[in-house]
Chains A and B, each alone.
Chain A
């Protein structure tokens, strides 16, 4: 039986991986939504409780480490900016709100 050339095998594996990733992204949407909601909540809080700041920092770190895997490299960059902002003792809430809004818009292009 003839075998597929290596390039065809690799292309097939890539296509399969992309399909599985798309499925995984859809399944993970509720988690992403919850993380975005935490960032929006933190941006709106005045004052920002330390527990919520720590939670938002954790969420931003997780988003910065995961969005790029699903093809959202710019989302990772935005989440990284949010993470850096939240590492400050008194984060700039207006800037945080703006970055969270940008991130939400990027992940919800039609909303």
Chain B
């Protein structure tokens, strides 16, 4: 049985990260990808597009990832969408702090573009 086409919103202020993640998820998994370059834009995009999942950077200028996530949780229209945080922080204390927020998963940068979709699918329990 073929799994259905998923849609993912990527929120990251860095152009190269957004582009690599988008091409990875589109080319490897065949998913539909939307992008946003800030937390504020991401909340608006998520409300409008209703993606199946959100992959979001932790460190962003203005509203950072954890703050954006908390705002999303307080927005009924998008509170149900699973959020995965992306971080380049390797220290365990940071990882635990992010996981304790209640996000679906925490993934690490740099990610392998050929494996990213598998990591997301595994974290969210999506069949491949």
Contacts and interface: CB of A to CB of B under 8 A. Distances in A.
24 contacts: A13-B27, A17-B28, A17-B113, A21-B20, A21-B113, A24-B20, A28-B16, A31-B16, A61-B88, A64-B88, A65-B14, A65-B88, A66-B14, A66-B16, A66-B109, A68-B110, A69-B16, A69-B109, A69-B110, A69-B111, A69-B113, A70-B20, A76-B110, A80-B90
Contacts of A65: 14, 17, 88, 109-110
Interface in B9-28: 14-17, 19-20, 23-24, 27-28
Interface in B63-96: 88, 90
A24 B19 contact: yes
Contact of A13 (B15, B28, B110): B28
A61 B59 CA distance: 10
Contacts of A16: 27
B18 to A, nearest CB: 11
Contacts, number: 58
A39 interface: no
A51 B19 CA distance: 29
Interface of A: 13-14, 16-17, 20-21, 24, 28, 31, 61-62, 64-70, 73, 76, 80
Contacts of A62: 14
A14 B110 contact: no
B90 to A, nearest CB: 7
A66 B57 CA distance: 12
B114 interface: yes
